Amino acid sequence: MERRGREDRRQGAVTALLLALALSPALALGALGRQAESTDVDQKMLQARKAIRPGTEFTVHELTLPSGTVVREFVGPDGRVFAVAWRGPTLPALKQIFGDDNLQRFLSSPPEQRSPRKSRTVRSQDLVVHSTGSARFFTGFAYIPLLMPRSVREEDIR
């Protein structure tokens, strides 16, 4: 009897662990393309300070990482994050701010341009990303064209 009880508890613990692992990526990853509340998850996961800057066309959720890198997440009138931008001495966790799907799309797409300055640009109808980096200075942006408000230009995402 006692042995069976231990097996049941162990099986319950394994089931709970598998369930937690299955659910955690959906809860913990990425703001790009998600609702504005996902910026709170990014703040926590990146251990960042957060400031919200309202604007007429969009709102910017600005995250300052412990490294000094600043990540800006742009929220449109529909409440969804349509773009992200970063600038600073370290590259932010792109998996966190892009989400798995967008990061995989970026990494698997052929680059539009590649230069000796470690720059990479990818453009598709689903995702636009430009990333540049060198020793202790990284900058870039990403946006989902279909979510971007009509009045916003690529130059506005910095």
Q: By percentage, how much of the chain surpasses pLDDT 90?
A: 61
Least trusted range by pLDDT, from 22-26, 63-67, 87-91: 22-26
Q: Which of 82, 88, 25, 41 is nearest to 59 (CA)?
A: 82
Measured CA to CA, the distance from residue 109 to residue 6 in angstroms comes to 49
pLDDT recorded at residue 111? 78
At 92-151, the pLDDT tens digits run 999 999 998 899 988 888 877 655 567 888 999 999 999 998 888 999 999 999 999 999
What's this model's pTM, rounded to 2 decimal places?
Answer: 0.78
pLDDT tier for residue 1 given thresholds of 50, 70 and 90: low
CA distance 158 to 1: 64
In the prediction, which pLDDT does 109 show? 83
pLDDT at 23: 37
Q: Which residues contact 110 (CB under 8 A, 6 or more apart)?
A: 122
Confidence grade of residue 91 (pLDDT, cut at 50, 70, 90): very high
User: Whole-number mean pLDDT of the chain?
Assistant: 82
Residue indicated by tokens 């052929």: 110
With 70 as the cut, is the pLDDT of residue 2 above it?
no
